[in-house]
Amino acid sequence: MSDTANCREIQCEPYSDQQPGTAGLRKKVKVFRQPHYLESFLEAIFRTVKIAPGSALVVGGDGRYMNRESIPVIAGLAAAHGVGRIITGLDGRLSTPAASHLIRDRQAAGGLLLTASHNPGGPDGDFGLKFNTATGGQAPEATAEAIYAASQSITSYRLCDLPELPLSALGEHDLGDILLEVVDSAAGYAALMETLFDFDRMADWLRQGNEVAFDALHAVTGPYAREIFCRRLGAAETAVLNAEPLPDFGGFHPDPNPVDCAHLVELSRSPNSPALVAASDGDGDRNMILGPGMMVSPCDSIAVMLHHADKLPGYRDGVPGVARSMPTSRAVDMVAEALGIPCFETPTGWRFFCNLLEAGRIGLCGEESFGTGSSHTREKDGLWAVLFWMNLLAELRMGLDDVVRDHWRRYGRHYYQRQDFYIEDADRARALVEALRAGLPGLPGRQLDGTSITAADDFHYRDPVDGSESANQGIRVELADGGRIVYRLSGTGTTGATLRVYLEQYTPADGQLEQQVATALAPLASRAAELGQIEEFTGLKAPTASI
């Protein structure tokens, strides 16, 4: 601990609700603004992870409300705990994948990422804080639990008073008890992308008249997208929509999915759709990929990427393996099998991919929730996915819809949809899952509206690298006709509970590949509602959103 005259101990009462979820601690802004709330959680982190004196910490966020004002608090506590240097982006902003890259690139001791991802921002919105380790990946479950345990007995914290932080001035600043370094993270991130993709070919593709439209939704990716698409690839300035980061995301819900980005679906269906239409989320780790008349399902996206990976510079030698989260469709499994490489199935949340990436067991990974990434960093990466698709279209000289249809004609199609049921009373949601869990032993063999259940379990994961175990990761039910239903509760919300029901139905390559998703999945959706007794437990007759 730093012991200069500027540092002091402050008394506080412990908070009991600082349990991190799928991706760090996420709460309403008004919860985070309670006296000593942020400080207590930071103190719990510093006491738990014990950062070596003098080391560097990467700190930055998605630009949402509370991002900028939290950084002086973090720097003050970091200084008091002996951290030597804070590395951040201009105005305290860093996209999640860029922060992960910066941690690795600068061999920092870890990072504090200020984000609630796709959750709305502003004074009535959400804020979040996530601790990433020196690998660049989110702290493992055991560390998150240890931080939570520590938070429950925090009765004081150490803080150094620092001068005002010049967050808008690039360069190194000596603050007395700690150094602050403000970097141009868009430039560093773009340089990383240049090592993975063929920028000349993409620039040619754009010069040939192909257009791209990328919507940053007034979140963190605007400056990165401008640097890459406009400055390095020569696209028109108009190619990046809503490029200015705003603390409330301009009122947008910065979630790249067909419901919250219906305007992009509409653009892709219009006669003058750009060849590639895309968006990312609040913190820049998710991606939505569209082209004329087609939205790529995230589950198909990772499968198509794997099939074509060796055509792109960064993946010429192929990848050693691939991984998907359990609820993600099994489209990618079929490609892995064809390539003769392993396909790992992990619980929801990117952190479960990190050990596999670190051990060199996988090179690509993805989640159904619009997340894809590779070994280049330890978080999912929205702009990386957009560039992957752009490079692929330029390389194959094909339209996006043809690339996807070709894939279905080769492997068959996994019709896929996630239904979200928002339930105000979280106890009811928990009771529904409990009832399913209790009924598991009786499910195999049970008839369900014209088909039967072949297998059912509560997903239990054993990490193949360190042997750590994660229980109760979601109820999965397999049906005789190739269908699969998964039920789990969201771990990123800040009020009530969200039940997620994941529906997947496989159709072989010689089957009907061109149905509407909702039509193809209608029978499965009603089976899922019946089996889960969704209306009985929640009163809801239909999902709040189907994505």
Pairing mode, strands 343-346 and 451-458: unpaired
492 binds ligand VG1 (CB under 6 A): yes
Pairing mode, strands 343-346 and 240-241: unpaired
DSSP assignment letter at 127 = E
Contact of residue 158 among ligand VG1, Co ion, none (CB under 5-8 Å per partner type): none
Identify the residue among 6, 19, 22, 546 touching ligand VG1 (CB under 6 A).
22
Q: In whole angstroms, give the CA distance from residue 285 to residue 117.
A: 8
369 binds ligand VG1 (CB under 6 A): yes
Question: Minimal distance in Å, beta carbon 22 to Co ion?
Answer: 11
Q: Which is nearer to Co ion, 99 or 235 (CB)?
A: 99
Identify the residue among 39, 43, 62, 285 touching ligand VG1 (CB under 6 A).
285
Question: Minimal distance in Å, beta carbon 254 to Co ion?
Answer: 9
Q: In whole angstroms, give the CA distance from residue 18 to residue 178.
A: 27
Question: Minimal distance in Å, beta carbon 24 to ligand VG1?
Answer: 8
377 binds ligand VG1 (CB under 6 A): no
Q: In whole angstroms, give the CA distance from residue 513 to residue 269.
A: 19
Write out the DSSP string of 209-271.
T--EEEE-TTSTTHHHHIIIIIIIT---GGGEES-S--TTGGG-----STTTTHHHHHHHHST
Question: Minimal distance in Å, beta carbon 493 to ligand VG1?
Answer: 6
Q: In whole angstroms, give the CA distance from residue 302 to residue 437.
A: 30
By CB under 6 A, the count of residues binding ligand VG1 is: 18
Contact of residue 2 among Co ion, ligand VG1, none (CB under 5-8 Å per partner type): none
Burial of 284 (0-12, 13-18, 19+ CB in 10 A): buried
Question: Minimal distance in Å, beta carbon 18 to ligand VG1?
Answer: 17
The closest of 132, 63, 61 to 100, measured between CA atoms, is: 132
Pick the stretch among 242-250, 281-289, 316-324, 466-474 that binds ligand VG1 (CB under 6 A): 281-289
300 binds Co ion (CB under 5 A): no
> Which residue, judged by CB position, is nearest to ligand VG1 in the bound state?
117
What tokens were used for 222?
């605007």
Pick the stretch among 260-268, 280-288, 401-409, 478-486 that binds ligand VG1 (CB under 6 A): 280-288
Contact of residue 491 among Co ion, ligand VG1, none (CB under 5-8 Å per partner type): ligand VG1
Q: Which is nearer to ligand VG1, 258 or 491 (CB)?
A: 491
Burial 312-342 (b: 16+ CB within 10 A, else e): bebbeeebebbbbbbbbbbbbbbbbeebebe
Those residues whose C-beta lies under 8 Å from the C-beta of residue 317, and which sit 6 or more positions away, are 310
DSSP assignment letter at 13 = P
What tokens were used for 485?
């239903």
The closest of 249, 391, 379 to 311, measured between CA atoms, is: 391
Identify the residue among 198, 215, 281, 478 touching Co ion (CB under 5 A).
281
Q: Which is nearer to ligand VG1, 18 or 119 (CB)?
A: 119
What tokens were used for 544?
């709040």
Identify the residue among 414, 476, 500, 527 touching ligand VG1 (CB under 6 A).
500
Segment 111 to 170, residues that bind ligand VG1, using CB under 6 A: 117-118
- Residue 35 φ/ψ, nearest 5 degrees: -55, 130
Bridge partners, residue 423, by sequence: 497
367 binds ligand VG1 (CB under 6 A): yes
State the catalytic residue, choosing from 2, 117, 325, 369.
117
23 binds ligand VG1 (CB under 6 A): yes
Pick the stretch among 211-219, 290-298, 487-495, 507-515 that binds ligand VG1 (CB under 6 A): 487-495
C-beta neighbour count of 390 within 10 angstroms: 28
Q: In whole angstroms, give the CA distance from residue 14 to residue 445.
A: 50
286 binds ligand VG1 (CB under 6 A): yes
Q: Is 117 a catalytic residue?
A: yes
Catalytic center residues: 117
Catalog residues that contact Co ion under the rule CB under 5 A.
Answer: 117, 281, 283, 285
Catalog residues that contact ligand VG1 under the rule CB under 6 A.
Answer: 22-23, 117-118, 281, 285-286, 325, 348-350, 367, 369, 371, 490-492, 500
